[in-house]
Every structure is written in C-alpha cells, then in structure tokens.
C-alpha cells in the first residue's frame, strides 16, 4: 500500500523523521487486533446510522468495505504500512481507498484512544474465553487420571521429605483446586474487561449524539465506561489479567517441578510420553522432560510482563499517553505463552504413564506411617506428646535396623509401649493409613472419588 499523507497531517508542515516513524509505529504487532478493530468499526458505523450521523446507505458502504478489508487481511493481500503507524489507520486508509470519501466519515465521534481501548478489550475478552476452555480441558484431563489413580499410593512430601502416604488421585486433585481458583479469577477479571470505552473519544466524550449503550449491545459488552477520562486511560484490566496469568503460570511451574522430579531415574514415579520429551545430542540414553522444563522457564517471561505493565502505568497522568502503546506486546506475549502452556499440559497429562509399584515402594520408605502409630496410641489413652516420644523411639529403631514400621515385630513394639497390640498393623499398612484419612478433603480413596464427582459437577 502506498500512502501520500497521514490522516492527522493537517497541522504539520514537515514529514515525520524516517527513524521516528519506524520507532513510533505499532502496526508490526498490533495488526493482530484487525478483526476486533473491524468488529468495533462496524458496530460504531451501525450506531452512527441509528442516530442519524450516517445515512443507511453510507453505513452499508462502510460495513461492506470493512468486511472486504478483513478478507484481504486474512488472504494475505493487504500490505501493512509502517507510515500509517497502527492497525487502525491502515484499515481506515484502505477503507477510504476502496469506498472513497464515505470512508472518512467512519471516524466521526471517536478517537484512536477509545478505539484501541475497545479493540484490546474485545481481543482480551475472546482470549480469556479461549484460555478458560484450555483450563477446562486440563482440568478434565487431570480428573480422568485422578479417577484412575484414586487408590494408587505414593509418599506425600513436606520439605521434599517423605511425610505421610497419600493417594496419587488426591495429589492430582490438589492441582485441580489451584486451577479452579485460576478459572474463577479469570471469570471475575472478564467482567471488568467487558466494559465499553468507545464513545469516550479522545478524553472528554463527543458532541455527537452517540448511543453508547447500543454500541455496547452490538459488541456484547455488559457495561459502558462511566467516565471518559478513565475509559481511554484505563489499563487495569490488562494488568489484572496478567496478574491472573502469573498465578496460573506459577501453578504450572510447580506442576512442572514435580513432573521433572517424578520422571527422573531417582524417583521413576511416572514416565512422560515420548511426544513430550527430547533426547541428548551426546548421551543416547537421555530422555529429557523438555515440555515441563520449558513451561517452568516460561513462567519468568509472564512475571516480567506483569512488572512491565505495572511500571508502564505507575506514573501516567490522565488521560491517554503514548506510553500505552507499550501495553500490547507484554499482553500479547502473556496470552500466547499461557495458551501454549495450558494446551501442551492438557495434551501431556492424559499420556502420562504412572508407575504404581514404584510409588508404593517409595511410600514404604521414610516411616510415612509414623503419625498413624502416634494416633493409634492416642486412641489407647496416651497423651499425644508422650505418643510422639514413643513413636520417635520406634522410628530410631527402624533407622538403626534398616526396617520400616510395618515390619517391626509386636514383641519389639511392646518394649516401647505395652499398650501396642496386634491390631497396630492395621494402621501401619499403607492402605490402612490412607483409608483412615476418610474426612472431607482427605486422601482416602472414598473421599477422592467423592471429590471427583463434586468436581465433575462444577465443570
């Protein structure tokens, strides 16, 4: 596309410096907003015709022209121009080339300030819906595995030390709880994203009789921005989304750390599908968990985007400033990174192989049923602190004799407390330990299965 002059060039007597033109242009990255820019412009033109600013014929010409431009963009025919700065001016200029002077009427009653704020909200609203769909897909994948592994026993850890036996299904449901909070935050954020700025114009509103509520209805916005100054300068919604995204990535990073550990030769709790791993260029035996490692690494770039946006806004006076052009790249990168990470996780989890026997053997190490023995003594009338001391001695015996609590003889146990009877072995078994945690939210298979049903109902 060749251009002679910029749509705002009337006040200027000298052309923009070539380097400044390239430095200030945003079309290289904001062209991804084209569909939302066209959507907003069609709604704006429709509203202008409704209030009598445009004739119905002019409106139809504009709408048909914009739809034709969208086809040009999606077929790769439109040549984006840096000289036209951004997605808005590229589309508007092309519209004028196609339909003539009527195209110049489209911008009546609006500014690029409220236009871009509307485009970004439309874009982010759509992306939040897409991300929530990916979250649901991951949640469903986790539920399938959790249901299958509701009775699989592995050690639960604190301080990365064996603590108590738990079920693998219970562990996976802990991940689900994190993701459910993430989903709730996105749903709440979406409500504030879904507010229409269009009609605020540059900063003060407009003298044209716009029907902003009709425009909102056409675009599916639930509310109309109440204050024109705030409407064009607000980027809280982008910061809020990015904040929610950092929490999701933090959760995925924690999942990644566990998958990396569990898939190592030292743990060998799981095996990731070959489709989600790579090999070494020098060590032929290697199977590297690259996907969870990379997701863990990508967390940092989303954290960085949040800091960028917070810093971008921290000193801006009302209303719009050119600084706000810098909001898009961190936002776009956050959306892309988050969507990609969720997608690969939703694909990877169902393909994960669980090594149940190895998990169970690991749960036998580290005296994970020690608390069960203490609880047993408490039920026999021993004060908890005394029970704690007795069990500590039993554990020391196990360490010194290289045996686990379930294998200690009853004769030996009676040396620690005469109250210990044959029934102690019912609570010292791994299965007995997890079954005993039959409380709402506990690790008992019965509770895990009930939690899965509740989770299915939520989804």
User: Which residues contact residue 239 at a Cβ distance below 8 angstroms, ignoring those fewer than 6 apart?
Assistant: 306, 309, 310, 313
Given 75, 159, 281, 315, which residue is catalytic? 159
In a 3-state reduction of DSSP, which class is residue 195?
A: strand
Owner of token pair 């908890």: 384
Mean pLDDT of 308-326: 96
CA distance 271 to 292: 12
Is the predicted pLDDT of residue 391 greater than 60, yes or no?
Answer: yes
Q: Is residue 2 part of a domain?
A: no
Q: Is residue 162 part of a domain?
A: yes
Domain count, the chain: 3
Mean pLDDT of 246-269: 97
Q: Is residue 289 part of a domain?
A: yes
Say whether both 88 and 135 belong to one domain: no
Say whether both 235 and 274 belong to one domain: yes
CA distance 141 to 301: 26
Say whether both 90 and 130 belong to one domain: no
Given 9, 184, 264, 280, which residue is catalytic? 280
| pLDDT, position 322 | 93
Q: What is the pLDDT of residues 115-172, one digit of tens each?
A: 999 999 999 999 999 999 999 999 999 999 999 999 999 999 999 999 999 999 999 9
Kindly tell me the number of DSSP H helices and DSSP E strands found in the chain.
Answer: 19, 6
CA distance 6 to 324: 21
Mean pLDDT of 358-378: 92
Is the predicted pLDDT of residue 381 greater than 90, yes or no?
Answer: yes
CA distance 50 to 70: 23
Q: Is residue 3 part of a domain?
A: no
Task: Please say which residue of 77, 108, 139 terminates a domain.
Answer: 108
For all residues of the chain together, what is the average pLDDT? 94
| pLDDT, position 283 | 82
User: Which tokens belong to 52?
Assistant: 């009598």
CA distance 207 to 401: 88
Residue 104 CA: distances (Å) to CA of 8, 57, 62, 98, 244: 12, 15, 10, 11, 40
| pLDDT, position 12 | 60
Question: Which structural domain, as residue segments, surrounds residue 402?
Answer: 365-458
Say whether both 202 and 289 belong to one domain: yes
Mean pLDDT of 38-54: 98
CA distance 277 to 352: 11
Is the predicted pLDDT of residue 2 greater than 50, yes or no?
Answer: no
Report the percent of the chain where pLDDT is more than 90. Answer: 89
Q: What's the CATH number where 152 sits?
A: 1.20.200.10
Q: What's the CATH number where 56 sits?
A: 1.10.275.10
Burial (0-12, 13-18, 19+ Cβ within 10 Å), 119 = buried
CA distance 194 to 204: 21
CA distance 166 to 169: 9
Mean pLDDT of 394-408: 92
Q: Is residue 250 part of a domain?
A: yes
Say whether both 157 and 25 belong to one domain: no
CA distance 142 to 138: 6
Annotated catalytic residue 159: yes
Q: Which helix (H) or strand (E) holds 220?
A: none
Is the predicted pLDDT of residue 6 greater than 70, yes or no?
Answer: no
Is the distance from CB of 242 to CB of 334 less than 8 angstroms? yes
pLDDT band of 18, cuts 50, 70, 90: confident
> What angle in degrees, to the nearest 10, is found between the helix axes of 384-401 and 370-379?
140
- Say how far residue 359 (Cα) sits from the centre of its chain: 30
Is the predicted pLDDT of residue 323 greater than 90, yes or no?
Answer: yes
| pLDDT, position 24 | 80
| pLDDT, position 411 | 93
User: Which residues contact residue 74 at a Cβ distance below 8 angstroms, ignoring those fewer than 6 apart?
Assistant: none
Q: Is residue 1 part of a domain?
A: no
Burial (0-12, 13-18, 19+ Cβ within 10 Å), 7 = middle
Task: Please say which residue of 326, 360, 394 terminates a domain.
Answer: 360
Say whether both 300 and 444 belong to one domain: no
Mean pLDDT of 312-317: 96
Annotated catalytic residue 111: no
Task: Of 9-23, 63-77, 272-286, 302-316, give the lowest mean pLDDT range.
Answer: 9-23
Task: Of 17-21, 158-162, 190-194, 264-268, give the lowest mean pLDDT range.
Answer: 17-21
Q: What's the CATH number where 436 sits?
A: 1.10.40.30
Say whether both 435 and 317 belong to one domain: no
| pLDDT, position 169 | 98
Q: What is the pLDDT of residues 62-86, one digit of tens each?
A: 999 999 999 999 999 999 999 999 9
User: Which tokens belong to 36?
Assistant: 């939302």
Residue 62 CA: distances (Å) to CA of 42, 58, 94, 199: 8, 6, 11, 18
| pLDDT, position 3 | 41
Say whether both 191 and 249 belong to one domain: yes
| pLDDT, position 19 | 83
Say whether both 234 and 264 belong to one domain: yes
Say whether both 288 and 274 belong to one domain: yes
Task: Please say which residue of 108, 124, 141 terminates a domain.
Answer: 108
Is the predicted pLDDT of residue 15 greater than 80, yes or no?
Answer: no
Q: Is residue 138 part of a domain?
A: yes
Say whether both 398 and 352 belong to one domain: no
Is the predicted pLDDT of residue 351 greater than 90, yes or no?
Answer: yes
CA distance from start to end of the chain:
49
Is the distance from CB of 312 to CB of 323 less than 8 angstroms? yes
CA distance 327 to 314: 13
Q: Is residue 291 part of a domain?
A: yes
Say whether both 221 and 285 belong to one domain: yes
Mean pLDDT of 280-298: 89
Is the distance from CB of 292 to CB of 256 less than 8 angstroms? yes
Is the predicted pLDDT of residue 4 greater than 50, yes or no?
Answer: no
Is the predicted pLDDT of residue 215 greater than 50, yes or no?
Answer: yes
Pairing of strands 161-167, 153-158: antiparallel
| pLDDT, position 7 | 66
Task: Read off the pTM.
Answer: 0.92
């Amino acid at each position: 596309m060749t251009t002679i002059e910029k749509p705002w060039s009337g006040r200027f007597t000298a052309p923009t410096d070539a380097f400044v033109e390239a430095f200030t242009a945003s079309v290289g990255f904001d062209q991804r907003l084209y569909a939302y820019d066209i959507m907003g412009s069609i709604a704006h033109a429709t509203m202008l015709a409704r209030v009598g600013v445009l004739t119905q014929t002019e409106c139809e010409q504009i709408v048909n022209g914009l739809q034709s431009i969208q086809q040009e963009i999606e077929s790769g025919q439109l040549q984006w121009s840096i000289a036209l700065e951004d997605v808005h001016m590229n589309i508007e200029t092309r519209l004028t080339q196609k339909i003539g002077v009527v195209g110049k009427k489209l911008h009546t009653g609006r500014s690029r300030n409220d236009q871009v704020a509307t485009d970004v909200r439309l874009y982010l609203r759509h992306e939040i819906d897409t991300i929530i769909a990916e979250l649901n897909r991951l949640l469903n994948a986790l539920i399938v595995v959790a249901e299958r592994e509701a009775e699989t026993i592995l050690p639960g850890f604190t301080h990365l030390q064996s603590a108590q036996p738990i079920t693998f299904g219970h562990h996976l449901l802990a991940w689900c709880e994190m993701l459910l909070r993430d989903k709730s935050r996105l749903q709440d954020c979406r409500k504030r994203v879904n507010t229409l700025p269009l009609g605020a114009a540059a900063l003060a509103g407009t003298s044209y009789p716009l029907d902003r509520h009709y425009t909102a209805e056409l675009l599916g916005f639930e509310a109309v921005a109440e204050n024109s100054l705030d409407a064009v300068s607000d980027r809280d919604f982008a910061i809020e989304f990015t904040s929610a995204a950092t929490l999701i990535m933090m959760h995925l990073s924690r999942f990644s750390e566990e998958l990396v550990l569990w898939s190592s030769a030292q743990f060998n709790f799981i095996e990731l599908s070959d489709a989600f791993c790579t090999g070494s260029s020098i060590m032929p035996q290697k199977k590297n968990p690259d996907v969870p490692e990379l997701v863990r690494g990508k967390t940092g770039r989303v954290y960085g985007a949040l800091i960028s946006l917070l810093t971008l806004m921290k000193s801006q006076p009302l209303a719009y400033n050119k600084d706000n052009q810098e909001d898009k790249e961190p936002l776009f990168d956050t959306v892309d990174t988050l969507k990609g990470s969720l997608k690969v996780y939703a694909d990877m989890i169902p393909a994960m192989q669980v090594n149940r026997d190895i998990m169970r053997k690991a749960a036998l190490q580290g005296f994970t049923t020690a608390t069960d023995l203490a609880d047993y003594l408490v039920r026999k009338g021993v004060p908890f602190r005394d029970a704690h001391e007795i069990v500590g001695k039993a554990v020391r015996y196990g360490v010194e004799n290289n045996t686990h609590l379930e294998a200690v003889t009853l004769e030996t146990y009676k040396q620690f407390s005469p109250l210990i009877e044959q029934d102690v072995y019912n609570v010292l078994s791994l299965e007995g330990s997890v079954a005993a945690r039959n409380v709402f939210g506990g690790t008992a298979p019965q509770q895990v299965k009930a939690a899965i049903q509740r989770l299915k109902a939520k989804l």
